[in-house]
Amino acid sequence: MGTQEQPCYTLIQGPTDTEQPSEMTLKQDLENGDIPVKTAALKKVIQLILNGERLPGILMTVIRFVMPSEDHTIKKLLLVFWEIVPKTTPDGKLLQEMILVCDAYRKDLSHPNEFIRGSTLRFLCKLKEPELLEPLMPTIRTCLEHRHSYVRRNAVLAIFTIYKNFDFLIPDAPELISNFLEGEQDMSCKRNAFMMLIHADQERALTYLSTCIDQVNSFGDILQLVIVELIYKVCHANPGERARFIRCIYNLLNSNSPAVRYEAAGTLVTLSSAPTAIKAAANCYIELIVKESDNNVKLIVLDRLVALKDSPQQEKILQELAMDVLRILSTPDLEVRKKTLNLALELVTMRSVNEMVEVLKKEVGKTHNTVEHEDTGKYRQLLVRTLHTISMKFPDVAANVIPILMDFLSDNNELAATDVLVFVREAIQRFEGLRPQIIERLLSALPTICSVTVQCHTLWILGEYASSSGEVSGVVSAVRGSLGELPIVEDEMRKAAGEAGEEEGSGDKATQQQQQQQKVTADGTYASQSAFSTTTSVRKADDRPPLRKYLLEGNFYLGAVIANTLVKLAFRYTSLESELSKQNAFCAEVMLVISSIVHLGKSGLPQKSMTDDDYDRMMLCLQVVSERTPSLASVFTKQCRAALSHMLTAKTEEEEALRRDRKASKVIEHVDDHIAFSHLTKGGDLSSTDDMFDLSMSMAVSGGKKEGIDLTTSKLSKVTQLTGFSDPVYAEAYVHINQYDIVLDVLIVNQTADTLQNCTLELATLGDLKLVEKPQPVVLAPHDFCNIKANVKVASTENGFIFGNIVYDVKGSTSDRNVVILNDIHVDIMDYIVPASCTDLEFRQMWLDFEWENKVSVNTQMTELKAYLDYLCKSTNMKCLTPEKALGGTGDYMAANLYAHSIFGEDALANLSIEKPLGNPDSAVTGHIRIRAKSQGMAISLGDRVNKVQKATIKSVGG
């Protein structure tokens, strides 16, 4: 083996760019310098010893010239020095000089200054030489009676450590500490003493706890935490003790310390599965979340509350606390609110649904009347989705939810309004009794909607579900009212001509109006106000009806939606109205609206010209209205709704399948679990419920198949060979990636017959990687080997490279330094991204927001579309968002959306569009993959990964 590091407990990082002082210079500074010079020299000595330097002559200098100093800084540095300096000869015997050091320890333990005594006692906890500790034992014992608590508590720690390592030095330590505990009043001292008894003599700890179990609530929090730890260990090792101590845990749930309440609640859940215990622990968790200010603490405790729900028995108990869980919504943090709403959704029942809906409606109202903020809009979105899910789960409450959500259609937050419409669309499809109420609400909200996307969704719902002649006429009237006077182009031309005339007329009267309108300012002087007409063209544009304003801005996709809606209404009106003249009049009105929009698109008045797709769609609608054949009527009035119904059914089935899989993955009872018959056990025996010790034991002795991959195999797969077998120095690295850190464990083997001196691993990085520290040089004997570790920090999700070389000197050689070039280590993006889920609306919004796109052509020999998609998802850690039913069946083309999330908070989107040539089933898949991300590195790295896995498919098929 190579040079082994000395045991060390305190690490001090020194500067690497300064020249190292010589041993002679350090001796002179320690002998003749004043206090600041001695302090600086002692620091340098400590740094040199930590870096592996041997300074054999420095020990006596320190003993003679530094130890007698009474300066506190030097005494603190001396404790570090004595900790790291070699104390034995090469054959393992204690150095003679250490006798003098031991005498100095004894003096410091009797020092009148309590800080020096306490720090020396803490230092003694780190000594591993019993020869040095043995003469100090009587002095350490006397420190237990010191007047200051700092000395006493460190004396207890020193005795605990010495007893744990060398029990022969103080065999009566448990009895000594037990007597000390009975007479001690300071909480920190009692805590250390009690902790020692827990680990050294548990029976004495239990005896002490039994004598003061009724006074536990008056103890300090540090002692209460240790008591909770003792009860947890004792009750798991001996379940029969639960009845003795469970009342104490109940009492600690009311402690003043949040940490004690948290630990007591966790211990209570593991000790008992009784409903009262679960309810008390859950209430404690909820109180902690509500009262704690740190969001990280809230999330941790909330995770424990969510974990309680995994057990079916505990879930029933938590359902009674569903309304208490909603108290957590008072927290302003969005992540806490999101987890809370998800938990509440899983706990809601028929008994609590009405009350929960009322609370959520109040929360929705609060977001509506507050100052708009980014998190406010997202929270509103979460509330809308939660109410949506509750309404689908419990249809009886949908009628109460719809009115308040309709107010958000005119909201400036487009995402919240869109979520409301998604809910309305599903509600109007599933609950026929609510359709008239929803249609009426949508018609009243239509003029106030301020988003083009929301207008499109609203018009589609109105066109699809307006069923009576009154509703159909109401929708057409609302559309005409939002478009203004028809035809649009002629009306706009008239308004433009009228505005020009008004401006010319106002110019002649300007002087007269200025003379008539004079105002007095604050200082008493006159000021004239211009009285030109304020009814400018900008003002006119703002006063336009909403649909016309959007069309004049160039949003002609909205025009196509209006045309499509009117066609559906025309077919529905003709089926309801038997009189032919009224049918023709209605269809003529519809054609007038559509042709007016088409004329506007071709007139040049809008800010953007109409696209060919929108034009073709509107002209098709005109032709459909003019012909009105039964086949076209079926397409517009029946098949659209059937497609929606099919989509909603598929979505429901997918959610049910996920829920079933989640339940199936939970092991309710293990194979080797003991069966507890409650009627055959004693009433006071609490060990029959939730016996975690028995569960752990049965899992340990069971011979069941272990899931997961072999750890040895997974480690070997991450070993990278850095040099060749014929190189003088062989090197290989195990790359261990843990979120933001990369640890390189490099094995270096000296394959020569020479001693390699100053063998240094020099590394550099490319990409968003940063080397934390430079590896220290080592000395390798002939055919020796050693391990060197290097840490690399990762800053973002993109591919990176680590490269470098090994530099060494050969002992006795006069030539220059030798260099071995290392192979590059490739840091893969796959180690940082994980599959994730998002809604279709969120995917589209991110697709619009992300500016970096990488288009990758499909290049593979695979012939199955679905097989290629599955291979791509598996190889890139991305999740397919497209429902499984939409991908099923046979066909010659496929489109799918993929999504992944990185540990750095970055999102990656991908759209897969692939096809196969018609009539050639054996041909390879073709197409392209469009990748979008917020950062350029993410998009490029993911594209490189796709190209790499595609090449692997070509090689495998070719082989």
Unique residue bearing structure tokens 């995994």: 310
**729 has pLDDT over 60:** yes
- CB of 872 closer than 8 Å to CB of 898: yes
Mean pLDDT of 154-176: 89
pLDDT at 4 (0 to 100): 39
Q: Which of 128-142, 232-246, 540-554, 785-799 tops mean pLDDT?
A: 128-142
Whole-number Å distance between alpha carbons of 270 and 689: 10
Q: Determine what percent of the chain is predicted with pLDDT higher than 90.
A: 5
- The per-residue pLDDT for 507 is 52
Give the Cα separation of 828 and 452 in Å (integer).
42
One-letter amino acid for residue 298 of the chain: K
Count, in order, helices (H) and strands (E) of the chain: 42, 18
User: Taking 60 as the threshold, does the pLDDT of residue 798 lie above it?
Assistant: yes
Q: What is the pTM of this model?
A: 0.66
More confidently predicted of 123 and 685? 123
**Per-residue pLDDT at 541 exceeds 50:** no
Instruction: Give me the pLDDT at residue 16, please.
Output: 55
Task: Judge whether residue 848 has pLDDT over 80.
Answer: yes
Closest Cα to residue 438, out of 479, 409, 412? 409
pLDDT of residue 532: 38
Residue 772 has pLDDT above 80, yes or no: no
C-alpha 830/C-alpha 835 separation (Å) is 10
Query: What percent of the chain shows pLDDT beyond 70?
Result: 84
Greater model confidence, 751 or 530: 751
Q: Would you say residue 959 has pLDDT above 50?
A: no
Lowest mean pLDDT across 139-148, 394-403, 649-658: 649-658
Half-sphere exposure of 544 (CA within 13 A, CB side): 22
Extract the tokens encoding 905.
């908070």
pLDDT at 918 over 80: no
Averaged pLDDT of the chain: 79
| Token pair in block for residue 755 | 């001693």
- What is the model's pLDDT at position 527? 45
Residue 104 vs residues 149, 200, 244: alpha-carbon distances, Å: 23, 30, 49
pLDDT value of position 530:
43
Q: Are 210 and 202 in contact (CB under 8 A)?
A: no
In order of 202, 229, 252, the CA distances from 215 in angstroms are: 20, 17, 11
Whether the per-residue pLDDT at 138 is higher than 70: the answer is yes
pLDDT range class, residue 693, cuts 50, 70, 90: very low
Bigger pLDDT: 700 or 717? 717
* Cβ neighbour number for residue 531 with a 10 Å cutoff: 16
3 state DSSP class of 746: strand
Q: What is the pLDDT of residues 800-847, one digit of tens each?
A: 788 889 998 886 655 667 899 999 888 777 777 888 888 887 888 889
pLDDT of residue 911: 92
Q: With beta carbons less than 8 A apart as the criterion, state whether 278 and 269 touch.
A: yes
CA 669 to chain centre: 31
Q: What is the pLDDT of residue 884?
A: 79
Residue-wise over 32-45: b if at least 16 C-beta within 10 A, else e? ebeeeebbebbbbb
- pLDDT score for 671: 54
**Other C-beta atoms within 10 Å of 656: how many?**
10
Residue 746 has pLDDT above 60, yes or no: yes
Let me know: does 270 contact 690? Beta carbons within 8 Å.
yes
Secondary structure (3-state) at 820: strand
Most confident of 51-60, 707-716, 738-747: 738-747
| pLDDT value for 19 | 67
pLDDT at 929: 92
Q: Is 123 helix (H, G, I), strand (E, B) or coil?
A: helix
- The pLDDT tens digits of the residues spanning 217-236 come to 778 888 888 888 888 888 87
State the pLDDT confidence band at 664, using cuts at 50, 70 and 90.
low
Q: What is the pLDDT of residues 262-309, one digit of tens each?
A: 988 988 888 888 888 888 989 999 999 988 888 888 888 888 888 888
Cβ atoms within 10 Å of 802's Cβ, excluding its own: 24
Residue range 857-905, pLDDT digits in tens: 988 888 888 888 988 988 888 889 888 777 777 778 889 999 998 877 7
Tokens 């009148």 sit on residue: 112
CA atoms within 13 A on the CB side of 68: 6
The backbone torsions φ and ψ at residue 770, rounded to the nearest 5 degrees and listed phi first, read -140, 125
- The letter for the amino acid at 8 is C
**What is the mean predicted confidence (pLDDT) over 113-141?**
87
In terms of Cβ atoms closer than 10 Å to its own Cβ (0-12, 13-18, 19+), residue 344 is buried
pLDDT tens, residue by residue, 469-514: 888 888 888 888 888 888 888 888 888 787 655 555 555 544 444 4
